[in-house]
Amino acid sequence: MGSHRRLVPSGFDRGASTALCVLSATAAALGAVPALAAPHDDPRGEVDRLYEEAERATEAYNKADERADSLREEVGLARDRIARQQERINSMRESLGSLAGAQYRSGGLDPSLALLFSDDPDDYLDKAAVLDRITVRQAGELKDLQDAMREIAQDRAETSRKLGELERSRKTVAAHKRTVEGKLAKARALLNSLPSAERAAYDRASRSGREGMPELGSAVPASGRAASAIAAATSALGKPYVWGANGPSGFDCSGLMQWSYAQAGVALPRTSQAQRFAGPQVPLSQAQPGDLVTYRSDASHVGMYVGNGQVIHAPYPGAPVRYDPVGMMPGATVTRV
C-alpha cells in the first residue's frame, strides 16, 4: 500500500540489476517515487503518507481480527466441552443418588438387630458384604464427581476470561477500522482537492502499467508450492486493493500473500509482520521466486518475489495488484516459505 521508494542495491538473478535501474528511471520519470518523509505542503506526498499510515493500521486491524476469530473458536469449543462435562456430572449425580437410596433402605436397622430378626443370617451377611462394596464404590464416584465439578468450574472461569478478551478484541478491531477509514478518507479528500491535472498525474503514477507481465528472467522458484503460489498471485493481477481483504475479488498486501499460498496448500498467518517469520530468512541477494519480501522496519507491507528484481503485491487503494521493483521501499527482508 505504501509509496514507491528509492531502489536498494541487490544481487538477484541474471539481469536483475539492469532491470532495477531501468525501472527506477521509469518510476522517477512518472513521479511515482515520492520521498519517505514528504513535507506536508506536498499534497501528493501527504496522500502517500496517509496511505502508508492506513496500511499500518490495516495490518493492526488484521491482527486484532485474527485474534478475535481465534477467540470465538476457542470459546465455542469451551462451551461444547462444558456442556459435555455437565452431562457427565448429571449422570454421576443420578448414579450416586441411586446408591444412596439403596444404602438407606438396607441400613435402616442396627446391624445386630437386623441379624437377630433375619430369617436367614447367611443371606443377611451376604447383603452386608454387598452394601460394603456399594459404599466403597459410592466413595469413589463421589471423588470423581468432586473432580469433575472442579474441572468444570475452572473451564467456566477460563471461558469467562476469554469472553472478556473477545469483547476487548472486538473493540480493538473497531478502533483500528475507524483509524483506517479515517486515514483513507483524508487521503481521498486531499486527492479530490488537487487540480485535475495533478490528480490525473497521481492516478497515472499509481496505475503505471505494471500489471502487464515484465521480463522475469529464468530464476527457478524455491519449491513446487512457491511455483503454485506465484501462479495464484499472478492470476490476481489487476484485482483491486481492498483493505482487510484476503481474496478472491480484492486484497490487501498480506491478504494477497495468504490467499496465494493457500492455493498452494500452505497456511500463512494473516499479517505481514507474522508472515515475515513464516519461514527462514535469506539474504536479499539470494531471493528466489515465491519468497516473501516484507518492507519497512515494522514489516507493515509485503510482496512476493517473482524474479528479475520484481515483486507482485497489492500496493494501496486505487492501485491494483501489480508488479513493481523489489527495491520500491526501504527495509526489505526476505522469507522463504
Comparing CA positions, the residue from 180, 214, 238 lying closest to residue 289 is 214
Q: 61 CB contacts (<8 Å, ≥6 apart)?
A: 173, 176, 177, 179, 180, 243, 244
Indicate which residue of 4, 21, 40, 301 is catalytic: 301
Q: 187 CB contacts (<8 Å, ≥6 apart)?
A: 47, 50, 51, 54, 317
Amino acid at 111: P
Q: Which residue matches cell numbers 494477497?
A: 256
Q: Is 40 a catalytic residue?
A: no
Indicate which residue of 4, 21, 176, 253 is catalytic: 253
Q: Strands across the sheet with 292-295, in order? A: 281-282, 333-335, 292-295, 301-307, 310-313, 322-325
Indicate which residue of 4, 21, 176, 313 is catalytic: 313
First-to-last C-alpha distance (Å) of the chain: 22
How are beta strands 292-295 and 322-325 bridged, if at all? Answer: unpaired
Distance CA 262, CA 283 (A): 25
Which residues have a catalytic role annotated? 253, 301, 313
